[in-house]
Amino acid sequence: MKRLVLPALLALAATGCMRSRASLIKPDEEASKCELVQTLMREPVTQQLLSGLMADGREGPSQVLVFVRRPEESMLERLFAGEDPSCGGPHYKVVQQITTDAVVLFLQPRVGGYVYDVQRVAPDELSLGGEAKGAVMKSEAGTWVSSSI
């Protein structure tokens, strides 16, 4: 029986019936995630951190890393599933791994949206996030609306 499993899986993979996690990502979901990040990047606390990075003379757009925090499961996962999220603004770019000081957004799900924390961190100083700085929710019009705490 076990001898048949591997050939069957290889046959499925060869015919395209097996999909990687990345291929299951729907473009509209990624666009909504990007809208969420762009909304949070306009918040005063986030703008202040981003301005601090730019004032330090960083060349090019600042790096932004986004995590979803699930404390009840003791879990921290990246918001974007793909290797290179195409999300950013004039002064920042969302990345999957930081190489310099960066802005890190921590999102914790709640009904209708997220509570968020934002911090400036170095690559070797990543944490699980701190206290909430605000909340973001989906409006009836389908756009993200944020508020500071």
Categorize the per-residue pLDDT at 120 as very low, low, confident or very high, splitting at 50, 70 and 90: very high
Average pLDDT over residues 30-54: 93
Select the more confidently predicted residue: 11 or 131: 131
**pLDDT class for 143, splitting at 50, 70, 90?**
very high
Please check the confidence at residue 30 and state whether its pLDDT lies above 90.
Answer: no
**Where in the chain are the domains?**
25-148
pLDDT confidence tier of residue 136, bands split at 50, 70 and 90: very high
Mean pLDDT for 94-112 is 94
- Predicted confidence (pLDDT) at residue 22 exceeds the cutoff of 70: no
DSSP the chain: -HHHHHHHHHHHHHHT-S--TGGG--HHHHHHHHHHHHHHHTSHHHHHHHHHHHHTT--SSEEEEEEEEEGGGTEEEES--SSS---B-SSEEE-SS-SSSEEEEEEEEETTEEEEEEEEE-GGG--S--S--EEEEE-TTS-EEEEE-
**Residue 79: other Cβ atoms inside 10 A:** 21
pTM: 0.78
5-20 tens-digit pLDDT: 334 433 433 334 333 3
Q: How confident is residue 92, by pLDDT bands cut at 50, 70 and 90?
A: very high
pLDDT confidence of residue 58: 75
pLDDT confidence of 27, banded at 50, 70, 90? Answer: low
pLDDT confidence tier of residue 149, bands split at 50, 70 and 90: confident
